[in-house]
Structure 1
Amino acid sequence: MLKTTTRAESGLRDLTEEQRSDTLFVRSVEKAMNVLSAFHHADGPLSLSEIAQRAGVDRSGAQRMVHTLRTLGYIRRDARENGFLPGIRILDHTLDTLRLDPLVRFATPVLLELRKSVRERVDLSLFDDLRVLYALRLQTKRQNFYATLVGHSVPTYCSSGGWAIMSKLEDDQVRDIVERTDLRPFTNETITTVEEVIEKVTETRDNGFALATSQIVSGEIAAGFPVLDANGNPVGAIHIAGSLSEWTVEDYINHVVPLGQEAARAISYY
């Protein structure tokens, strides 16, 4: 069965007991964050029992956490009283993350100009282990709900931005990421083996850009370009996405790749 959602997992490993035993580690904060994280793959309001199960806490503990977070505005009751939803105060922290991130601030005007030039969807993603997380999403003529949401994520292993990022990593780092990834497909054309991913990363290194077709969305063509920090490490990528119904692969490469590469160079080493 193909995946119906493209929210990817971060791949962060479970904390060790040694980390939890650190005198500076506050376990109640960990539990509160787990309660908020219970909503990550929810399709609607969650009951208290569902929150407890997803957060890995007992129902009594979940009740206290939910009550506290609700009082603070980080969880709210669904209007129809069917359960609980994230509260609007979480958006304050999203704003803080984006407005204070130097890459996002530096990249925004560059990507606005890029969108004007390519007239296709332009995204900036940030590298988060097994996934890339969208921090900027600039739409054009094609709109859909998920493609407009900041904070949405896709797997590193099968996205143009992911291939672009991995092209700047060592081979053993690439293999580690892919081998820890759930390689189930999004479309009938999604690559699903470690060797196929490594081949795409090698191709990206050789070409200087990544090109993905129908990997996450059927009929989509996307070019990816790595963004580097001051030390030359990959921290994100620019994605430019179009439709195969409107472009041949050759024409798309000729149209977007020079502009995408120029934009990536402009915001790298920020």
Structure 2
Amino acid sequence: MRSILHAQDGIREPSEEAEQDPLFVQAVARTVQVLSAFHSASKPMSLNEIAAASGVGKSATQRVVATLRHLGYVERDPDDNGYVPGIRLLDHTLDYLRLNPLVARASPVLLELRRNVRERIDLSLLDGLRLVYAARMQSKRETFFATLVGHSVPVFCTSGGRAIMAAMSDDKVEEIIEKSDRRPFTAKTLVEPSAIREKVLEAREAGYAVAVEEVLPGEVALGVAIRGPDGSPLAAIHVAGSLGEWEAEEFTRRFAPLAVEAARAISRY
């Protein structure tokens, strides 16, 4: 089974087209690759581990890490066991969130939705084959990972992802299914293309998608797509609850209309 505690997108190496661009700066690309090495980390990393994970040579990694350390983007961990991301990276997270118009206009709508449902509310943004959480409003029983902005999950097996797929053309849906890493998160994760297509069709008919224990055991989640001015899906609202407190059908009946209205309110701007 796959882990939900790490970034799901790996190191993005420059394409051949990018490297041929006269404006492309290789040193900047190496720096980003070094920072991206921490995506898969579960503990502080040594220089050798960073070099291996990033695909950057050890000598270049040493220089990049030293530079980033001086600038506050990489730090030694408190026990001096290796390197960890530095606090300055949070400044850029804040910049992205406050300057993203969709996140800005969604925030008051999400707050109102959270007051009404009293369950976990998430806003996720589409990034290729994954959804990246840009806002997370906890319920009363959250675990650590469920509170983290920046956490990502695949499109193909999540309620928000399938709601987004339902707003796409059939060709785009097939492309996502084909390119996705469809290893399961739980025993109930749907990985067969035919089963995923069926869920996407259900979401098209209903206007929302539901996933039961496909990413987390004991969780029911419903998702609704948020569309841009041209009608294309850009993001999704998720409402998640515990199967210890809700039957999936009752959870959906009660909260789907509220989530659909919230997504419409954000999409109307």
Question: The TM-score by the shorter chain falls in which range?
Answer: over 0.9
Letter in 2 for 1:85: V
Counterpart residue number, 2:221: 222
Counterpart residue number, 1:48: 47
Residue aligned with 1:187, SS? coil
Structure 1 residues 14 and 46: alpha-carbon distance in aligned structure 2, compared to 1, 3 A threshold? closer
Letter in 2 for 1:103: L
Q: Cα deviation per residue 1:61-80 (whole Å; 9 max; x = unaligned)?
A: 00000000000000001111
- Superposed, 1:68-107 pairs within 5 Å as 68-107=67-106
Q: Cα deviation per residue 1:34-83 (whole Å; 9 max; x = unaligned)?
A: 00000001001000001111111111100000000000000001111111
Q: Cα deviation per residue 1:164-210 (whole Å; 9 max; x = unaligned)?
A: 11111111111111111111111111001111111111110011110
- Superposed, 1:9-88 pairs within 5 Å as 9-10=8-9, 14-88=13-87
- Superposed, 1:117-132 pairs within 5 Å as 117-132=116-131
**Distance of 2:179 and 2:262 partners within structure 1:** 31
The answer to whether the 8 A contact 2:9-2:130 is kept is yes
Residue aligned with 2:187, SS? coil
- Superposed, 1:121-270 pairs within 5 Å as 121-270=120-269
Q: Cα deviation per residue 1:103-127 (whole Å; 9 max; x = unaligned)?
A: 1110011000101101100000000
Q: Residue 247 of structure 1: CA displacement?
A: 1.1
**Distance of 1:73 and 1:61 partners within structure 2:** 18
The answer to whether the 8 A contact 2:7-2:39 is kept is no
**Distance of 1:257 and 1:18 partners within structure 2:** 43
Letter in 2 for 1:48: L
The answer to whether the 8 A contact 1:161-1:237 is kept is yes
**Distance of 2:202 and 2:163 partners within structure 1:** 10
Q: Residue 12 of structure 1: CA displacement?
A: 8.9
**Distance of 1:49 and 1:105 partners within structure 2:** 40
The answer to whether the 8 A contact 1:223-1:240 is kept is yes
TM-score by length of 2: 0.97
Aligned residues: 269
**Distance of 1:11 and 1:59 partners within structure 2:** 19
The answer to whether the 8 A contact 1:45-1:84 is kept is yes
Q: Residue 248 of structure 1: CA displacement?
A: 1.5
**Distance of 2:202 and 2:6 partners within structure 1:** 26
Letter in 2 for 1:135: A
**Structure 1: 5+ residue runs without aligned partners?**
none
The answer to whether the 8 A contact 1:12-1:129 is kept is no
**Distance of 1:257 and 1:8 partners within structure 2:** 28
Q: Residue 13 of structure 1: CA displacement?
A: 7.0
The answer to whether the 8 A contact 2:220-2:242 is kept is yes
**Distance of 1:22 and 1:71 partners within structure 2:** 30
**Structure 2: 5+ residue runs without aligned partners?**
none
**Distance of 2:214 and 2:108 partners within structure 1:** 28
Structure 1 residues 144 and 153: alpha-carbon distance in aligned structure 2, compared to 1, 3 A threshold? same
**Distance of 1:89 and 1:54 partners within structure 2:** 22
TM-score by length of 1: 0.96
Letter in 2 for 1:188: A
**Distance of 1:134 and 1:238 partners within structure 2:** 10
**Distance of 2:145 and 2:26 partners within structure 1:** 33
The answer to whether the 8 A contact 1:107-1:267 is kept is yes
**Distance of 2:73 and 2:259 partners within structure 1:** 38
Runs of 4+ residues over 4 Å off in structure 1: 11-14
Letter in 2 for 1:154: V
The answer to whether the 8 A contact 1:6-1:154 is kept is no
**Distance of 1:45 and 1:101 partners within structure 2:** 31
